């Protein structure tokens, strides 16, 4: 059992890492009005901006997500750019709206 517990602990994030490991977006679908919460993992979902990429000034990271709610089959496309400390610099969304 020791090996399986160690394996489980390796793949489970510590409780203290919870909110700091994610960037959260609250989105409303344009078609059905469903409110969708999307958590973007900083360590695997967000990519680094490289020299030559077309992006807003001051961008260090970006993410592109396709979001599908539970009520309808409207696909929502999200592109967001972040600064050095994962602060949101710019976002573009199609098929939905980012809620404040």
Q: Where are the domains of the chain?
A: 20-98
CA dihedral for 52, 58, 63, 66, sign (positive or negative): negative
Residue 15 has a pLDDT of 53
How does pLDDT run along the chain (100 residues), one tens digit per residue?
677 777 677 666 555 455 679 999 999 999 999 999 999 999 999 999 998 889 999 999 999 999 999 999 999 999 999 999 999 999 999 999 999 8
Residue 48 has a pLDDT of 95
């Amino acid at each position: 059992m020791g090996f399986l517990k160690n394996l489980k602990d390796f793949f489970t994030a510590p409780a203290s890492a919870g909110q700091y490991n994610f960037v959260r977006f609250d989105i409303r679908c344009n078609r059905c009005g469903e409110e969708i919460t999307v958590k973007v993992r900083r360590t695997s979902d967000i990519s680094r901006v490289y020299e030559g990429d077309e992006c807003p000034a001051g961008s260090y990271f970006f993410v592109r997500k396709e979001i599908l709610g539970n009520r309808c089959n409207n696909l929502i496309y999200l592109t967001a750019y972040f600064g050095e400390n994962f602060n949101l610099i710019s976002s573009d969304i199609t098929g939905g709206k980012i809620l404040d």
